[in-house]
Amino acid sequence: MPAVQKKITLNCAPVTAFDVFINKMSDWWPMEIHSISAGANTLPANLIVERARDGRIVEVDSDGNTHLWGSFETYQAPSRVIIAWHVGEPASRSTYIEVVFGMETNGTTSVVLTHGGWEALGDDAEQKRADYDSGWDFVFGECYFNACKAVDKAVKKPKAPERPTEEPKKKSGKSRFSSLSEALHLVH
């Protein structure tokens, strides 16, 4: 069964795209509809992403129970991750998600998400693949894309010039030193 593949193009550096994907996942992931807690009509209390090889992605529900979504099989910051993905499933039914972050020649960043390994899901594979195909359009193509766009916009926002906190002193034309040697003494 073919993998699901999604590609987006961003106007930020690959390191920024990686940072948003990994370090800000709990901000952009639509947990109100795509989480284990959502199935129980509640919001998760937290989403923990352990940033390392063998690191886990763990949902913490409102009762403090943890739910393992997956773990990093490969963690190559800031260019690539592979996640053994099994939200609500035992690890023996893991699919895989590979996300690659790359700089394009025009200065944009391409992020490619590939979700495969459907065979691990047995009879559920075809339906799960179809669900994730449309789900990634929203989660990755809209939520993650918009989070990167917001970060890029915030970075490029021009800063307002700082205003002096006190009025500058008017120059009288006279030096506060009586001689050049007195001024040089302060410099050394």
DSSP output for 80-93: EEEEEE-TTS-GGG
**Using the 8-state DSSP alphabet, how is residue 165 labeled?**
S
- By residue range, what is the domain housing residue 114? 13-157
Global pTM? 0.80
Amino acid 183: pLDDT = 41
Whether residue 162 lies inside any domain: the answer is no
**Backbone CA torsion sign across 30, 40, 99, 134:** negative
Per-residue confidence (pLDDT) for residue 55, from 0 to 100: 96
Task: Identify the CATH number of the domain in which residue 50 sits.
Answer: 3.30.530.20
Determine, yes or no, domain membership for 177.
no
Q: Is residue 93 part of a domain?
A: yes
Is 116 a member of any domain?
A: yes
Kindly give the residue spans of alpha helices, DSSP state H, lying in 77-156. 125-138, 145-156
Query: Is 175 within a domain?
Result: no
User: CA-CA distances (angstroms) from residue 154 to 65, 147, 163?
Assistant: 35, 11, 21
Residue 113 domain flag = yes
DSSP letter at 6 equals E
CB distance 10 to 149 below 8 Å:
yes
Q: Which residues are within 8 A (CB) of 92 and not within 5 positions of it... i.e. 6 or more apart?
A: 120
Give mean pLDDT, residues 139-147. Answer: 97
CB 60 within 8 A of CB 38: no
At residue 81, what is the residue type?
Answer: V
187 band by pLDDT with thresholds 50, 70 and 90: very low
Residue 65 within a domain? yes
Any domain includes 124: yes
Q: Specify the number of domains making up the chain.
A: 1
pLDDT digits (tens, 9 = 90+) for 45-71: 999 999 999 999 999 999 999 999 999
